[in-house]
Amino acid sequence: MPNILLTRIDNRLIHGQVGMTWANHLGANLIVVANDKVADDPVQQNLMDMAVSDVVDTRYFTIQETIDKIHYAADDQLIFLVVKDPQDVVKLVEGNVPIVKLNIGNMHFSEGKQQITSTVSVNEADKQAFRRLQKLGVKMEIRRVPDESNTDISKFL
């Protein structure tokens, strides 16, 4: 069983808040980014690697690669899994990735989305994905940074 400490939705994927603040808070030694586009974009990967301390490794996998490879993680790999949106989290959970706790950190506002907190905006597809994750038993919270109090997303669904 892989040691997934936390899964986070952040449409920016890895940046200072994720690469330093959250990784340090969790004690993670590996950040896995599950994203189809970034998995094939070495420029984006190099930019994201700049936001991570030297003691934390990174891996960039497609959603399917994450499903296929996560169970081969070594026992000493303490994994912080980062994804871009809730639909990808549903694919991972339905693909048997053992996600127990989901942190919703940042989902940018765009046309057709409703802002539910200062950093999270959702549309109906996002809400459906969160409801599906709820049914699958995933505990979910909205929290930007570790020292902030969390908000239960279920009141917005």
Question: What are the domain boundaries of the chain?
Answer: 3-145
Which residue's structure tokens are 């970034």? Answer: 38
Catalytic residue status for 25: no
What does the pLDDT look like over 66-116, one tens digit per residue?
999 999 999 999 999 999 999 999 999 999 999 999 999 999 999 999 999
Q: Which of 15, 25, 71, 108 is labelled catalytic?
A: 15
| Domain 3-145 bears CATH identifier 3.40.35.10 | yes
pTM over 0.85: yes
Beta strand ranges found along the chain (DSSP E)? 3-10, 30-34, 57-61, 78-83, 101-106, 114-115, 121-122, 139-142
Tokens read off for 143: 């929290």
Residue 138: which pLDDT band, with cuts at 50, 70 and 90?
very high
Contact 104, 120 (CB under 8 A): yes
